[in-house]
Structure 1
Amino acid sequence: MQGGAVIGIAPAGTSMLTFNGASVPVTADGRFLIAFDRDAPPSATLVATLDDGRQVSDALVVAPRAWLIERLNTLPKFPRPQPEMERLRPAEIAQINAARRVRSDSQGWRQVFLWPTTGRISGMFGSQRVYQGQPGAYHSGTDIARPAGTPVLAPADGVVILAADHPFTLEGNLLMIDHGMELNSAFLHLSRIDVHVGERVRRGQVVGAIGMSGRATGPHLHWGLKWRGSRIDPLLLAGPMPRAE
């Protein structure tokens, strides 16, 4: 479905696997990972090329989802220009994109993901605001409201690919973890980061703490998940939010 991820098993003897025409790595035990963006089209195709040259294809139906849409007819889409952000933002985007190009051998993508913190979900993945008829960007992660200083846990094994040494204009103190197979987590608005780039982290390890750095109106954790260019709904990987301790 839109916003979902799938672990599959390739046919025996697969020498190459493609997903919508793009090559997808297959592990020694035949596993592979694919994911579907929030706005993924209704169909997708997997093609496995076998050692003998034969091809096996699978047509996938991608279920649509009903996203929360808020219509704000009295507010304009764009805020007043902010020269400081315009100056700083290109370098921040370049740093984020460079981190996402890092490939690790982590096997965290195979695990059942934990919620990095438990609490009230204050922002749903995929929700969108429409300003005077003009759609804004959709919400690319899940927001969890908790007090500042609440520990943030690694949802799965991974390798740290970005640990901001200063607050970014939007994300604040930003931490990114690669879980392998090009699946990565981003944790925004942290009050502190407890790990460093290149460090291997384990599922359930404390990696930072909730804050309200960057563009945030209150303390919360924004958890985003991305596979290649597709943004994924954390709720579909971690399951229903458990009751807070």
Structure 2
Amino acid sequence: MRRFASAFAALVLPTLAIAAVPDLPASVSQGGLVIGHVAPGTRVTVAGKPVHVGGDGLFVFGAGRDERGPIVVTLGNTRRSVVVSPRDWPVERVNGVPPKTVNPPPDIAARIEREQAEVVAARDRDDAREDFVRGFVWPVSGRISGRFGNQRIYNGDPKAPHSGMDIAVPEGTPVKAPADGLVTFAKPDLYLTGGTVLLDHGFGLSSNFLHLSRIDVRVGQHVRQGEIIGAAGKTGRATGPHLHWGFNWFGTRLDPLLLPGIH
């Protein structure tokens, strides 16, 4: 985690922002965010796909939960390999969940599919904004009740790994923006996730906040780090009040605990 914090601290240094020598971490944990620098105008690809490079030479990418690596990165004519450090993924058993949210009937399953497609579309942005450059703060303070990547078993039925971090807080607890960002999705009643807000931080990085009891922002609104965007709740598939904070690099889910500033 300190490695990521150090990388972000370096982003504010003007000498690094215009560095001609490529700067790229040698390794990243599964679920981790990678921050690099190249000379402005350098073409960068990750696993063969071009990524956005800012006017200051900044670029980012993520290593998913199941990424084995190494991740091949090209920086102009230079080829690098980023080693991916494996992690252990414990099993979490969640009981008392409404059965229709675990194994929904066909009509509900179709609704869930439609809603998730909207969320996926909202993540498909590559804005040049560097709203993430100052690092991140906790959206709420509380006990971590669910960790990223852990295998979830709902009512005894194995499901997909947990996609974010759950923080147990009382219903109505104000939720703050962990970094500057643009609201790209805000709806109060998604079937699985209830009150849902997506905040785009630029360069394909986005936060999602689920199970909200109240939403205080609208799509198209730009918010500042620490600004209240809503209130924690227990809407959607939830057994008690909490905030689910997820973080993505486009479609790749990352661990909020590995973000710079979060410890």
TM-score by length of 2: 0.81
| Structure 2 unaligned regions, length at least 5 | 1-28, 95-100
Say whether 1:17 aligns with 2:38.
Answer: no
Q: Which amino acid aligns with 1:16?
A: R
Q: Which amino acid aligns with 1:58?
A: R
1:154 alignment partner, one of 161, 177, 186:
177
Taking a change above 3 Å as real, the CA distance of residues 71 and 120 of structure 1, as seen in their structure-2 partners, is closer
> What displacement does 1:69 show?
2.5
In structure 2, C-alpha distance between the alignment counterparts of 1:144 and 1:13, rounded to whole Å: 39
In structure 1, C-alpha distance between the alignment counterparts of 2:151 and 2:79, rounded to whole Å: 35
Task: Write the deviation string for residues 22-62 of structure 1: whole angstroms up to 9, x where unpaired.
Answer: 1011111111111110111131111022xxxxx11111111
> What displacement does 1:217 show?
0.6
Q: Which residue of 2 aligns with 1:145?
A: 168
SS at the partner of 1:235? helix
CA contact (8 A) 2:193 2:237 kept: yes
Q: Which amino acid aligns with 1:35?
A: G
| Structure 1 unaligned regions, length at least 5 | 50-54, 73-77, 241-245
In structure 2, C-alpha distance between the alignment counterparts of 1:221 and 1:232, rounded to whole Å: 16
In structure 1, C-alpha distance between the alignment counterparts of 2:195 and 2:157, rounded to whole Å: 30
Q: RMSD of aligned C-alpha atoms?
A: 2.3
> What displacement does 1:80 show?
4.5
In structure 1, C-alpha distance between the alignment counterparts of 2:109 and 2:159, rounded to whole Å: 18
1:7 alignment partner, one of 35, 49, 58:
35
Q: Which residue of 2 aligns with 1:64?
A: 86
2:139 alignment partner, one of 116, 123, 142:
116
In structure 2, C-alpha distance between the alignment counterparts of 1:63 and 1:213, rounded to whole Å: 35
In structure 1, C-alpha distance between the alignment counterparts of 2:119 and 2:172, rounded to whole Å: 24
CA contact (8 A) 1:141 1:234 kept: yes
Q: Which residue of 1 aligns with 2:20?
A: none
Q: Which amino acid aligns with 1:155?
A: P
CA contact (8 A) 1:5 1:33 kept: yes
> What displacement does 1:83 show?
3.9
Say whether 1:173 aligns with 2:195.
Answer: yes
SS at the partner of 2:230? strand
Aligned length: 229
* Bigger helix fraction: 2
Q: Which residue of 2 aligns with 1:90?
A: 113
Q: Which amino acid aligns with 2:67?
A: A
SS at the partner of 1:139? coil
Taking a change above 3 Å as real, the CA distance of residues 104 and 3 of structure 1, as seen in their structure-2 partners, is same
In structure 1, C-alpha distance between the alignment counterparts of 2:48 and 2:182, rounded to whole Å: 28
In structure 2, C-alpha distance between the alignment counterparts of 1:22 and 1:58, rounded to whole Å: 14
SS at the partner of 2:42? strand
1:41 alignment partner, one of 68, 72, 92:
68
1:186-225 residue pairs with structure 2 within 5 A?
186-225=208-247
Q: Which amino acid aligns with 1:113?
A: F
